[in-house]
Amino acid sequence: MNQINNLPYLKEKRRSLRNNLTPAEAKLWNALKNSKLAEIKFRRQHSIGNYIVDFYCPKYLLAIELDGQIHFNSVNIERDKKRTEYLNNLGIVVVRFENEKIFQQLNLVLEEIKQNCSNKRF
């Protein structure tokens, strides 16, 4: 089986993204790190294939993407669609949140994340 997670050529890019989180990513990471959310383990800036997802839970095959203004143009909407299709084909569920929701409704975001994990059937 070919390795698709954390490919070596993306290591520096992942490191750079982890060291330069957006304010929304930093806020959500603070709520997820160290398995704070229902003892669910998340990774930040995890690569799968050629894509780097903001947060990833390998146990539940759940990717979380945060969308700021840069995501709301036709080019990036199409890129995000292709990324989601690729991840879905691997059995990974992708949940997207707008940055503003992280700041205004973090508790609802965390509940939705937990719900996505509890809905996973193995």
Tell me: the pLDDT tens digits for 66-78? 998 665 677 888 9
Record the pTM. 0.92
Write the CB contacts of 122 (distance below 8 Å, at least 6 apart in sequence). none
Closest CA to 113 of 60, 53, 44: 60
Q: Can you tell me the mean pLDDT for 51-57?
A: 97
**Inter-axis angle of helices 23-32 and 106-118, nearest 10:** 50
pLDDT at 97 over 60: yes
Tell me: the pLDDT tens digits for 108-118? 999 999 999 98
Confidence of residue 122 (pLDDT cuts 50, 70, 90): very low
Q: Which fold has domain 8-118?
A: Endonuclease; Chain A (3.40.960)
Confidence of residue 119 (pLDDT cuts 50, 70, 90): confident
